[in-house]
Amino acid sequence: MVVKRKIEETSEPLKDTCFVFTGEMEMPREVAQQKVVMLGGRYTSLPSRRTTYLVAGNEPGPSKMAKAKELGILVLTEKQFLDFIESKSKNFEDREVVDLEYKNDDKEPIRVDSKDEDKHDKEYKDMHDKEYKDILDKEFKNKDDIQISSEEPWSEKYRPKSKEELIGNQNIFSQLVNFLKGKTDYKSVLLSGSPGVGKTTAAYLAAKECNLTCIEFNASDVRNKGELNKKIKNNLNNFNLGSNNGLERKVLIMDEIDGMTSDRGGLGELGVIIKKSRIPIICICNDRSNMKIRGVANYSLDLRFRKLEFRQVLGRVREILKRENKNVRDSVIQEVFMQGKGDMRYILNILQVLCLRHVISSEEINLVCKKTFMRNIFDLCADIFMKKKIWEKIDVYFEDYSFVPLMVHENYLKSNLHISEVVISSDSISYGDVVDRIIHGPNQEWGLSGVHAFFSSVLPSNKPLNKKIDFSNYLGQNSKKMKNERNLLTCFLHGYKSYSPAKVSYRMYDSMVFCKKYLRNIYLEKYEDCVKIIEEMGILKEDIENIIEICYLGGLKDVPAKGKSTVTRLYKKLKRVLPYFVEDTKKVKGEIDSNEEEEKVIYEE
């Protein structure tokens, strides 16, 4: 017979209530938020006129408290909040029935309780696998008690099949269709946005609407320069879009191009293909701010997908749950939506996992709804300077333990620090550097990572920032330092017969002497003497220019152009035999590279 299950009116005792949490609580804030959601309530980060309760822990935020007082919001302590939740949960079972109907012969379906499962696991954990399976088969004779789904994922099963089924970004879709119909002057389009907003689906639906055959290359394909030459260019030249000979029209879809940064020469080759292509190209990426994406964006129509809103997602999710004969409260859908940050694919996959059982507990939702998002370094820096517990800041550090300390070092002085606090933070960063040297030393003491996290990131980020976050200058300065060391060593090895063998004395004394002579001769227009210095020391003109740039910050910027050109002309006439190999890195004017010649032949119309 068919059994109907109904959700009682008391299943959402906190319906139409909104909570805001502030301060340090003994209970993890995520657990408190989960309790509110499972009782039908919702929570926000800031108080507003719709806020019902403000839960204040130790050291609550003064701005939130002032706002609550201004709006007349009831303030609860953590103990009052727990008592309030307990009173609302007396006649409420913290488990939700998700099946609307299912078949069973005579018996009421058995609810599988997590506590019972733990009991059985403990009782039979030492038994043989086969015996354990037989026992479970005897105890769960009714196969409807635990649903084992062999269906395809909901994210694929309910993928939009038409324009009307797309959620949001309809204007972007219309612009994409106009591009494929040739109503713009661009040869390619760049679709960017957060994961799960429908970029790839929109590309396929637009191609279908324009009767175009899709050729797709995604992150699973090797997309370096050689492979793009081999696979894509042949496809692009098998036909002509302008002809009417009945050949099918195609569109190239390059998915996840921000993942092509590891494919050597891939993005550069894609830019060349876009310039010379005769078919439309759709490029898709998540990280629009990536510096390497800008090269493609300069030649493409830039369409940016907006994040999906909860009101847009809710209707579609309700429709899917109805088709699957499932019933999940809106508060649970909202919690999954917030955990997924608007990722529709993630939302459907998580709901499908939760609906494998007839009942859902809050612990199961809290366990399943865990998603690790890749955050950029600016988000991590902003997060670690917020008021958090030590272990929470250490977690932020481990998301990118190489860059987070550098960002903290660059921005920690932008906090409202007293001079004594500046001293403490600066000393802490110094201690962190000492620990970092031990970690990356010969013994590789990675067990000290937690200590490094505390000194380099946690302690210096004790106060919130009050200015814009800047990217770390260390990388640029370190690159410049290594370049200068390399140039200094090259010049030292080229002219080692002309000065003292000590590298330090060469940098401090010898190089300064001949650099001053060289510059003085240029200003006095004694250009032959400049070339004579280069010849006597057995070095190259590039060497002495690099040394001048190291010794004098201005380099040769203030030297008259006439003097530099004259010295260059005389230097080229110099004929000598050097005791080392000189690589000519400059390309001879007029010389055609074999790859460029091949490209010219391939794209010749």
What's the rounded Cα separation, in Å, for the pair 325 and 268?
A: 50
Phi, psi at 133, each rounded to 5°: -65, -40
Residue 163 or 143, more confident:
163
According to DSSP, the residues that pair with 76 across neighbouring strands are 55
Measure Cα distances from 339 to 27, 230, 329, 342 in Å: 19, 42, 16, 8
Segment 259-286 mean pLDDT? 75
Label residues 286-307 b or e (16+ Cβ within 10 Å = b): bbbebeebeebbebbbebebee
Cβ within 8 Å of residue 103, ≥6 positions away = 1, 2, 3, 144
* Position 119 pLDDT exceeds 50: no
Q: Are residues 173 and 297 in the same domain?
A: yes
The H or E element that residue 83 is part of is helix 78-88
Cα 486 from chain centroid? Answer: 33
Q: Is 499 in contact with 533 (CB distance < 8 Å)?
A: no
Average pLDDT value for residue range 581-593: 52
Which of 251, 282, 304 is a domain's end point?
304
- Say if residue 598's pLDDT is above 60: no
3-state secondary structure at position 471 = coil
192: Cβ contacts below 8 Å, ≥ 6 apart: 199, 284, 285, 286, 287, 288, 293, 302, 303, 304, 305
| Tokens found for residue 187 | 């040869």
Q: Which of 472, 501, 530 is a domain's end point? A: 472
Q: Average pLDDT of 49-65?
A: 88
Q: How far apart are CA 68 and CA 49, in angstroms?
A: 9
- pLDDT of 452 higher than 90: yes
Residue whose entry in the numeric block shows the structure tokens 């859908």: 333
Do 200 and 290 sit in the same domain of this protein? yes
Say if residue 89 is in the same domain as residue 107: no
Burial class for 358, CB neighbours closer than 10 Å (0-12, 13-18, 19+): buried
Per the structure block, which two tokens stand in for 523? 């200003």
- Residue-level pLDDT at 502: 61
Using the predicted structure, report yes or no on whether residue 546 has a pLDDT greater than 80.
Answer: yes
In angstroms, the CA 304 to CA 307 distance is 10
Number of H helices, E strands in the chain: 28, 13
Among 238-252, 413-427, 429-443, the minimum mean pLDDT is found in 238-252
Average the pLDDT over each of 40-54, 410-424, 453-467, 551-565 and give the range with the smallest value: 551-565
Indicate whether 364 pLDDT > 70: no
How many distinct structural domains can be found in the chain? 5
- Other Cβ atoms less than 10 A from the Cβ of 400: the count is 17
By mean pLDDT, which of 107-111, 177-181, 505-509 is the weakest? Answer: 107-111
Range of the domain at 381: 377-472
Instruction: List CB contacts of 381: < 8 A, sequence separation 6 or more.
Output: 404, 407, 408, 411, 469
86 shares a domain with 127: no
Amino acid 424: pLDDT: 93
**Kind and range of the H or E element at 191?**
strand 188-192
pLDDT score recorded for residue 406: 93
Q: Domain for residue 320, yes or no?
A: no
Q: What is the identity of the amino acid at 282?
A: I
Instruction: Report pLDDT for 493.
Output: 81
Residue 456 carries which DSSP code?
A: I
Quick check: is 242 in a domain?
yes
Is residue 584 assigned to a domain? no
Residues 6+ apart with CB under 8 A from 542: none
Which token pair is 362?
Answer: 């809050």
Q: Is 360 helix (H, G, I), strand (E, B) or coil?
A: strand
Asked whether residue 188 falls in the same domain as residue 298, the answer is yes
What is the structure's pLDDT at 587? 44
204 and 278 inside one domain: yes
Query: Which range, 98-112, 214-228, 328-342, 563-577, has the best average confidence (pLDDT)?
Result: 563-577
Closest-CA residue to 385 (of 348, 340, 351, 416): 416
Q: What is the DSSP letter of 376?
A: -
Q: How far is the C-alpha of 395 from the C-alpha of 383, rounded, in Å?
A: 11
One domain, residues 195 and 107: no
Q: Are 300 and 188 part of one and the same domain?
A: yes
Torsion angle of C-alpha atoms 408, 410, 416, 422, degrees rounded to 10: 90
Please check whether residues 182 and 285 belong to one and the same domain: yes
Q: Which of 314, 315, 280 is nearest to 300 (CA)?
A: 280
Same domain, 221 and 255: yes
User: Which of 554 and 483 is assigned the larger pLDDT?
Assistant: 483
- Which whole number is the average pLDDT over 171-180? 91
Helices 511-523 and 541-551: crossing angle, nearest 10°?
100
Indicate whether 592 belongs to any domain: no
Q: Are the C-beta atoms of residues 273 and 286 closer than 8 Å to each other?
A: no
Note the Cα 563 to chain centre separation in Å. 50
pLDDT, mean of residues 24-42: 79
Which whole number is the average pLDDT over 210-233? 70
Clarify whether residues 525 and 462 are in a common domain. Answer: no
| 151 assigned to some structural domain | no
Query: pLDDT tens, 392-428?
Result: 899 889 988 889 999 999 999 998 888 999 999 999 9
User: Is the same domain home to 455 and 505?
Assistant: no
Residue among 448, 446, 470 at smallest CA distance from 385: 470
Instruction: Tell me which of 219-233, 525-539, 540-554 is least confident.
Output: 219-233
- For tokens 């062999």, name the residue: 150
In a domain, 323, yes or no: no
Is 526 strand, coil or helix?
A: coil
pLDDT, tens digit, for every residue of 484-493?
888 888 887 8
pLDDT, residue 248, reads 67
Q: Residue 389 and residue 174: Cα distance in Å, rounded?
A: 47
What are the structure tokens assigned to 506, written together? Answer: 């060469």
Question: pLDDT at position 451, please?
Answer: 93
Nearest Cα neighbor of 373 from 350, 399, 354 is: 399
User: Is 348 domain-assigned?
Assistant: no
Residue 53 pairs with which residues in a beta bridge?
A: 19, 74
Average pLDDT, the chain: 76
**Residue 578 lies inside a defined structural domain of this protein:** no
The residue with tokens 């847009």 is 312
Q: How many residues does the chain have?
A: 605
Helix segments in 298-403, DSSP class H: 310-323, 330-340, 344-354, 362-368, 377-384, 390-399
Q: Which two tokens stand for residue 569?
A: 């002309």
Distances (CA, A) of 272 to 97, 275, 276, 375, 599: 56, 5, 7, 31, 9
**Reduced 3-state DSSP string for 35-56:** HHHHCCCEEECCCCCCCCEEEE
Tell me how far apart the alpha carbons of residues 359 and 336 are, in angstroms, rounded to a whole number.
16
Residue 112: pLDDT band (50, 70, 90) is very low
Report how far residue 27's alpha carbon sits from residue 143's, in angstroms, rounded to the nearest whole number: 38
Q: Point out the domain boundary residue: 93, 123, 150.
A: 93
- The enclosing domain of 71 has a CATH number of 3.40.50.10190
Q: What is the pLDDT of residue 374?
A: 63
- The CATH number that applies at residue 250 is 3.40.50.300
Question: Residues near 330 by Cβ (< 8 Å), separated by ≥ 6?
Answer: 314
**Cα separation of 451 and 447, whole Å?**
8
